[in-house]
């Protein structure tokens, strides 16, 4: 049996034996970590545990063929794989369980993610790329099941781009596109739409993606009969199998306890994907869950005795041990000795991890207790503080929180007094908070010197006799310049290729730059986003086009859960500077004129959201973003492509700054704040109001996230003393967000002489047709009358009632 494996053919028995025993040690170490990890949760030292027990052996086989430059996109069962590629050791495993916030101790997320969510570091401390070809890479896991799929597609596609597009500086990212993106998913999670969308897309694109399904027949308590047609994922995927005539998938089925067959399967998969770029699906059957799904319940509740007996017998580690003995790689006694050794190693590693995690709190406690003692002596309520101190000192392993709670509560017993003891305590609280808060809140956005906010504005310049052109021409010529000068850029979307997008902003560019760089793709927004995300994680500069703003919702879950959290959940160790291009507001009908900007602003913290009012501004945003190292969503105005704009002469160079508002009409009576397509109506209303003596100042927000960094809007309100925010979102949507920024963060309330108000669309989706639009969204008349009403209330004699 062994002689059939390639490993055995190419290496000596002794070498093979060494490898087998190394694998055995990793499998046992991983299992011991799972067993002890569960106990740490049950005794309360860790909050939650989800482990990789029962999935060890296939992961060893995958690790064997996983090369430098490759990427994993997987889920919470993959601890054995991470150990086998040398990216997770025992202490780090426990540091993750305890939520150690030191990224050196807990490299997966610096304590931000629960254990079992894995990542490697793609970035240097300054945010620049490491050489990803000199390490094994794992994109950072997320908890939503199948959420790893869209990104996996992009990670695989990057190899195809690097192999086939000339001129890209690939040194840190690729060796001629030989890298594989390895996906893992649980059997039950293949029920998710993301799984099917990704599988189909990878088959169409023919990218080097090897997808492993870890099949243990269950998704928590729910059996395969409720999850999968025919209870068999590879069986129903058979139509994807490639043959002489058609490209497709290589589909491999293998049992998860059979070491030899697994090694063969992964070697075969690796060879196919690396050389031909054909995707491969490996259905790994007959896996188990020795401890059940997670620490939140026991599987004895839903597995019958037969199943539990079978699971004990077919536990992959048990079968592996039997195989090692049967094939004379070691005796049972030798393996037992190894087991014993490893048990001790894991116990020691766990202890070391606990000390590393808990010692800093104990150290701070020694600073704090004397301060509390002192505070008590200086307080009229001495006993109250002493009792807080006592409670704190009795906690065996205090959390950061415990220290702060005691310190902050103590201050309440010192209100109204001045003392050295009190200032020392305040000082301690402030220093402790300043040091602790970033451990939980840093890196939502890029903190590198290339962050988008640090990219300076460059104004568009014009020839003396610059023509007025259809605005889409400005986008097209700017994209032309971008693709001509930056080989690592590419754009893809529905109708983006052959016809040059539905509004001709990419006209002729596919012909010029090829089908890989200006590409048509299927109708599958989540994986369009995933393509962008994955390729951006491998050093490319993708522009993912979502045809209309209303369809961003299909990609929204991935944008929110994966892209927006990426820098945060890796504490700045991974980035994906993808640009998401879309167009929205004001066309016709329920699904062509939505403006859910409030929803986006709230779900996408971590991504910049830009709402340029014209195409010169939009093009400028693309130029800015390509200089920067973080993701953004750019919403072009659907009704702006055919409006005339003056043709600039510095394409690719002019840059619209982020977070900077623009006053597009000066005025003294009221400040009107708006953005995007609505602005034209606001300007119209403002001009009409001049005729009755109302002078409105109109401000274009341009950038919802970040918002008015220079706090210019409050300067306008200080002058006009009145404020109206207008947009096309639902009431309380983005307009409420804008209002909060202006009133609360910019303190505009102190300047107000009239009630600050918002004017938004109706609560329902916008109805079809010109009248549907008029009765659904704010019209010029609505805006005019709202402003007039505010002025009438302020000065009824000058502005008598309109109606």
Catalytic (active-site) positions = 592
User: What's the min distance (Å) between Cβ of 231 and ligand TPP?
Assistant: 12
Q: Between vectors from CA 695 to CA 693 and to CA 701, what angle results, nearest 5°? A: 155
Contacting range for ligand TPP; rule: CB under 6 A; set: 216-224, 399-407, 427-435, 690-698: 216-224
| Three-state DSSP state, 459 | coil
Applying the rule CB under 6 A, the residues between 482 and 501 that interact with ligand TPP are none
Nearer CB in complex with ligand TPP: 219/256: 219
Using Cβ positions, the residue closest to ligand TPP within the complex turns out to be 186
Question: Of Mg ion, ligand TPP, none, which one does residue 77 interact with (CB within 5 to 8 Å by kind)?
Answer: ligand TPP
Question: Of Mg ion, ligand TPP, none, which one does residue 740 interact with (CB within 5 to 8 Å by kind)?
Answer: none
Applying the rule CB under 6 A, the residues between 94 and 153 that interact with ligand TPP are 143-145
Rounded to an integer, what distance in angstroms lies between the CA atom of residue 37 and that of residue 291? 11
Using Cβ positions, the residue closest to Mg ion within the complex turns out to be 186
In the set 30, 187, 677, 702, which binds ligand TPP (CB under 6 A)?
Answer: 187
In the set 189, 295, 496, 656, which binds ligand TPP (CB under 6 A)?
Answer: 189
Is 218 a residue that touches ligand TPP (CB under 6 A)? yes
Rounded to an integer, what distance in angstroms lies between the CA atom of residue 65 and that of residue 44? 38
H or E stretch covering 515:
none
User: What's the min distance (Å) between Cβ of 147 and ligand TPP?
Assistant: 7
Is 220 a residue that touches ligand TPP (CB under 6 A)? yes
Contact predicate 173/137, CB 8 Å: no
Nearer CB in complex with ligand TPP: 50/761: 50
Contacting range for ligand TPP; rule: CB under 6 A; set: 106-114, 218-226, 639-647, 704-712: 218-226
Question: Of Mg ion, ligand TPP, none, which one does residue 145 interact with (CB within 5 to 8 Å by kind)?
Answer: ligand TPP
Nearer CB in complex with ligand TPP: 145/703: 145
User: What's the min distance (Å) between Cβ of 652 and ligand TPP?
Assistant: 41
Contact predicate 286/257, CB 8 Å: yes
In the set 183, 219, 733, 778, which binds ligand TPP (CB under 6 A)?
Answer: 219
For residue 304, give Cα distances in angstroms to 215, 285, 308, 310: 18, 19, 6, 10
Nearer CB in complex with ligand TPP: 77/472: 77
User: What's the min distance (Å) between Cβ of 294 and ligand TPP?
Assistant: 7
* Count of residues engaged in binding ligand TPP, rule: CB under 6 A: 14
In the set 40, 70, 78, 216, which binds ligand TPP (CB under 6 A)?
Answer: 216
Cα torsion for 197, 199, 205, 208, to the nearest 10°? 140
Query: Could you tell me which residues are beta bridge partners of residue 725?
Result: 673, 758
User: What's the min distance (Å) between Cβ of 339 and ligand TPP?
Assistant: 25
Rounded to an integer, what distance in angstroms lies between the CA atom of residue 525 and that of residue 279? 21
Question: Of Mg ion, ligand TPP, none, which one does residue 293 interact with (CB within 5 to 8 Å by kind)?
Answer: ligand TPP
Q: Between vectors from CA 549 to CA 499 and to CA 480, what angle results, nearest 5°? A: 40
The token pair at 198 is 């990704």
Pairing of strands 608-610, 703-705: antiparallel
Nearer CB in complex with ligand TPP: 77/274: 77
Contact predicate 594/764, CB 8 Å: no
HSE of 399, CA atoms in CB hemisphere, 13 A:
11
Is 77 a residue that touches ligand TPP (CB under 6 A)? yes
User: What's the min distance (Å) between Cβ of 219 and ligand TPP?
Assistant: 3
In the set 51, 94, 162, 214, which binds ligand TPP (CB under 6 A)?
Answer: 214
Nearer CB in complex with ligand TPP: 88/615: 88
CA-closest candidate to residue 515, choices 161, 206, 43: 161
Rounded to an integer, what distance in angstroms lies between the CA atom of residue 278 and that of residue 295? 38
Nearer CB in complex with Mg ion: 227/565: 227
- Residues found near Mg ion in the complex (CB under 5 A): 186-188, 216, 218
HSE of 58, CA atoms in CB hemisphere, 13 A:
33
3-state SS string for 325-374? HHCCCCCHHHHHHHHHHHHHHHHHHHHHHHHHHHHHHHHHHHHHHHHHHH
The token pair at 216 is 């243990």
Binding mask 277-306 for ligand TPP (x = CB under 6 A): ----------------x-------------
User: 773-798: buried (b, 16+ CB within 10 Å) or exposed (e) per residue?
Assistant: beebbbebebbbbbbbbbbbeeeeee
DSSP 458: B
Nearer CB in complex with ligand TPP: 212/278: 212
Pairing of strands 644-646, 468-470: antiparallel
* Chain residues in the site for ligand TPP (CB under 6 A): 77, 143-145, 186-189, 214, 216, 218-220, 293
């Amino acid at each position: 049996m062994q002689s059939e494996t390639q490993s055995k053919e190419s290496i000596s028995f002794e070498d093979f034996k060494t490898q087998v025993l190394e694998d055995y040690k990793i499998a046992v170490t991983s299992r011991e970590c799972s067993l002890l990890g569960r106990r740490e949760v049950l005794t309360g030292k860790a909050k939650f545990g989800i482990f990789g027990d029962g999935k060890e052996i296939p992961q060893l086989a995958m690790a064997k063929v996983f090369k430098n430059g490759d990427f994993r996109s997987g889920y919470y069962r993959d601890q054995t794989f991470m150990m086998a590629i040398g990216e997770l050791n025992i202490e780090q495993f426990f540091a993750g369980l305890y939520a150690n916030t030191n990224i050196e101790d807990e490299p997966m997320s610096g304590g931000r993610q629960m254990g079992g969510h894995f990542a490697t570091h793609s970035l240097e401390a300054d945010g620049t790329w490491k050489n990803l070809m000199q390490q094994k890479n794992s994109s950072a896991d997320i908890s939503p099941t199948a959420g790893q799929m869209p990104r996996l597609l992009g990670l695989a596609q990057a190899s195809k781009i690097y192999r086939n597009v000339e001129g890209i500086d690939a040194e840190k990212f690729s060796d001629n596109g030989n890298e594989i993106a390895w996906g893992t998913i649980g059997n039950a999670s293949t029920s998710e739409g993301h799984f099917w969308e990704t599988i189909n897309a990878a088959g169409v694109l023919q990218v080097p993606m090897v997808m492993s399904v870890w099949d243990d027949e269950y998704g928590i308590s729910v059996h395969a009969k409720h999850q999968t047609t025919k209870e068999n994922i590879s069986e129903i995927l058979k139509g994807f199998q490639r043959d002489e005539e058609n490209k497709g998938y290589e589909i491999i089925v293998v049992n998860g306890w059979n070491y030899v067959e697994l090694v063969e399967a992964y070697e075969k998969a690796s060879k196919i994907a690396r050389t031909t770029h054909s995707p491969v699906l490996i259905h790994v059957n007959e896996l188990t869950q020795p401890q059940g799904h997670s620490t939140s319940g026991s599987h004895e509740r839903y597995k019958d005795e037969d199943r539990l007996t079978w699971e004990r017998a077919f536990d992959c580690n048990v079968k592996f041990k039997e195989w090692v003995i049967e094939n004379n790689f070691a005796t049972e006694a030798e393996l037992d000795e190894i087991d014993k050794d490893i048990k001790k190693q894991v116990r020691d590693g766990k202890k070391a991890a606990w000390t590393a995690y808990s010692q800093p709190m104990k150290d701070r406690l020694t600073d704090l207790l004397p301060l509390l003692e002192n505070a008590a002596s200086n307080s009229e309520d001495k006993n109250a503080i002493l009792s807080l101190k006592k409670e704190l000192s009795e906690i065996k392993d205090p959390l950061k929180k415990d220290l702060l709670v005691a310190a902050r509560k103590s201050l309440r017993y010192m209100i109204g007094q001045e003392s050295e003891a009190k200032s020392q305590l305040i000082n301690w609280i402030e220093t402790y908070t300043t040091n602790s808060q970033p451990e939980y809140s840093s890196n939502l956005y890029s903190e590198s010197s290339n962050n988008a906010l640090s990219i300076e504005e460059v104004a568009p310049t014009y020839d003396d006799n610059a023509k007025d052109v259809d605005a889409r021409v400005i986008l097209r010529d700017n994209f032309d310049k971008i693709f001509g000068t930056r080989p690592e850029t590419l754009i893809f979307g529905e109708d983006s290729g052959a016809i040059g997008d539905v509004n001709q902003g990419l006209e002729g560019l596919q012909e010029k730059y090829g089908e890989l760089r200006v590409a048509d793709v299927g109708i599958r927004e989540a994986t369009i986003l995933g393509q962008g995300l994955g390729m951006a994680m491998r050093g490319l500069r993708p522009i993912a086009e979502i045809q209309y703003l209303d369809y961003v919702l299909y990609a929204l879950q991935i944008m929110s859960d994966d892209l927006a959290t990426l820098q945060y959940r890796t504490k700045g160790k991974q980035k994906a500077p993808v640009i998401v291009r879309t167009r929205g507001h004001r066309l016709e009908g329920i699904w062509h004129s939505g403006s859910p900007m409030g929803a986006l602003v709230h779900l996408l913290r971590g991504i910049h959201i830009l709402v340029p009012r014209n195409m010169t501004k939009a093009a400028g945003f693309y130029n800015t973003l390509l200089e920067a190292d973080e993701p953004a969503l750019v919403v072009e105005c659907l009704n702006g492509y055919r409006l005339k704009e003056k043709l600039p002469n510095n394409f690719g160079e002019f840059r619209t700054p982020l977070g900077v508002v623009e006053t597009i009409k000066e005025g003294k009576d009221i400040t009107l704040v708006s953005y995007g397509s609505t602005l034209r109506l606001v300007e119209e209303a403002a001009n009409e109001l001049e005729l009755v003596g109302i002078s409105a100042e109109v401000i274009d927000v341009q950038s919802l996230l970040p918002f008015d960094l220079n706090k210019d809007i409050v300067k306008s309100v200080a002058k006009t003393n009145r404020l109206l925010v207008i947009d096309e979102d639902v009431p309380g949507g983005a307009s409420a967000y804008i209002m909060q920024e202006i009133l609360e963060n910019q303190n505009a309330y102190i300047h107000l002489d009239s009630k600050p108000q918002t004017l938004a669309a109706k609560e329902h989706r916008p109805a079809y047709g010109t009248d549907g639009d008029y009765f659904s969204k704010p019209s010029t008349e609505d805006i005019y009358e709202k402003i007039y009403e505010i002025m009438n209330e302020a000065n009824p004699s000058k502005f008598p009632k309109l109606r």
